Structure 1
């Protein structure tokens, strides 16, 4: 069977991919994303409690995720409510979970 030819990504694309994967490589940030997947829109205090992080650590991680458009914020008075920016984040998360869940026998030849 012939392999499907796919154009190699540009250097800029490779750098952007590396940045996104690096951002998502932190367990604390992944816990926040997971909590948002489960709970929808949440404030920092609820996210911190749900993930076992301090409010300061959760706030810092959310600032990074917001800067790279992984989460969005809605302000209501002094409160800030965070949610995932779009469905692509859920897709990345779900695909990664599916990938790591494969049995050795199900993986293609190396």
Structure 2
């Protein structure tokens, strides 16, 4: 049925799996807070923990996963590591998710 539609295009499995992995990693309120803070500028684990209302240990674990997914990057300065969002795609992804959250019909009308 869909294949008969002009210009129908389905993403390949690898792209679908990578997108799903990104969404899976973003499906945590602490990670969303950490990423949003990083979009405002570079930060340390201690500062991110305070902003996210989480422990530094917890934030470190979240950052490690986000780094593996390519959503954040780190810069070492002496014994400290400063984190930032990996690129502007992260901003777009979070902005769209938060925009959607502002417009979800929660059925309370």
Range into which the TM-score falls when normalised by the shorter chain? 0.7 to 0.9
TM-score (norm: length of structure 2): 0.84
Aligned residues: 101
Corresponding residue for 2:33?
A: 31
Structure 1 gap segments, 5+ residues each: 105-110
TM-score (norm: length of structure 1): 0.84
* Aligned 1:9-88 pairs, distance under 5 A: 9-38=11-40, 40-88=41-89
In angstroms, what is the RMSD of aligned CA positions?
Answer: 1.7
CA distance in structure 1 between the partners assigned to 2:52 and 2:102 by the alignment: 22
Q: Structure 1 residues 80 and 10, CA, compared in 2 at 3 Å: closer, same or farther?
A: same
Q: Structure 1 runs of 4+ off > 6 angstroms?
A: none
The farther-off stretch of 95-104 and 26-35 is 95-104
Corresponding residue for 1:107?
A: none
